[in-house]
Each structure stands twice: as C-alpha cells, then as structure tokens.
Amino acid sequence: MIFYDLPLYRPPAEADNIIIQATLGCSHNQCSYCTMYKSKRYTVRPLSEVQREIEALAQANPHANKVFLADGDALALPTQHLALLLRLLKNSFPRLSRVSLYATAQNFLEKSVEELKELREGGLSLSYFGIETGNDELLGKIDKGVNAAQMIEALHRAHEANIKIS
Ligand code: SF4
C-alpha cells in the first residue's frame, strides 16, 4: 500500500501512469502565482523508502511502462541519487518506456549536459517545464528565480541531452 504525501499534483497526461514521490514539495517554492506546495517543505525522500514503494507498485502493476516522478521538481535531486532511482525503475518495470518529471530551469542549470545525458541514458525522457513568460521584468515580478536568457540556456541543455520538454 502506498501512502502519498498530499497534496499530490501530476500532469493530466500522467493520469494512467505510475506515480512515485521521489521528492516532496518544490525546491524553489517562491513563484508568486503558485500555491501548489506552500504547505510542504522541500524534502528529498530516502532512496530506501522510495525503493520499497517501487517494489510494491511493480508487484501490483507488472506491465506498467510509464512512471512520473513527483513532486514539484524531482530533477532537483542530486544526479547520482536520481541515476540510482532510474536504475531501480528499469529493474522493477521490465516494460518501462518513459520516465518523466516536473523540472525548473534552475534544475537544468545546476546540472551539466554530461550529467543530463547520463540521466537520459538511465531512462529520463520527458520533463514538464513552465516557462510562463519571456519577459524579464515579469519573470522578476513573479519570482520565477531565472531570467529569459537562463530559461533559454536551461532548454538548450535539455535539448542537448535529448530530454523532451512539454
Ligand atoms: S517552480 Fe513550479 S512548483 Fe515551484 S513554485 Fe514555481 S510554479 Fe510552483
């Protein structure tokens, strides 16, 4: 049995897929228009705890082929932590064809293209990404935490690593 830490958000396209909370909350959590994770403090969940859930979900859904990693920006996880998690998923779901997550521009900028490529090779293939606006003044007003040039650089890194952006 999985006990999700609520509230739990996922993209509409992930409705039928396995959801695993690799992190809780959002590491930025400051965008002025967003209340999604205001009740949570950003937390990295221990891999051993997540592994138990993956095993239980895999046992109950042996044919599942898509996994979404929650919460707000699981790409904030350290690269090696996320790489281990991706390996666990690959070993647990034999038909796995897609692992996706929400990510911020900051998450991409904190990783090198080589690290992102390693994650891509590990199975991370899709990131849901909120640009909101290309206007620097507005990005500042909404506390997005990056300017337009940084947003573009983050997307270039994703593209170079072949991680699809939605
Ligand atoms: S980065 Fe995303 S989840 Fe985090 S506060 Fe901003 S909009 Fe909300």
Cβ neighbors of 52 (< 8 A, separation 6 or more) are: none
Ligand 1 touching residue 71 (CB < 6 A): no
pLDDT of residue 1: 74
pLDDT band with cut points at 50, 70 and 90 for residue 2:
confident
Distance, CA 144 to ligand 1 centroid (Å)? 8
Ligand 1 closest atom vs CA 34 = 8
Q: What is the pLDDT of residues 27-78, one digit of tens each?
A: 999 999 999 999 999 999 999 999 999 999 999 999 999 999 999 999 999 9
Could you state, in order of their start, the residue ranges of all structural domains in the chain? 14-165
Three-state secondary-structure class, residue 115:
helix
At residue 50, φ and ψ (nearest 5 deg) are -65, -40
pTM of structure: 0.97
**What is the dotted CATH code of the domain comprising 14-165?**
3.20.20.70
Q: What is the pLDDT of residues 100-145, one digit of tens each?
A: 999 999 999 999 999 999 999 999 999 999 999 999 999 999 999 9
Say if CB 124 and CB 101 are below 8 A apart.
yes
CA–CA gap between residue 105 and residue 63 (Å, rounded): 33
Ligand 1 touching residue 36 (CB < 6 A): yes
What DSSP character marks residue 123? T
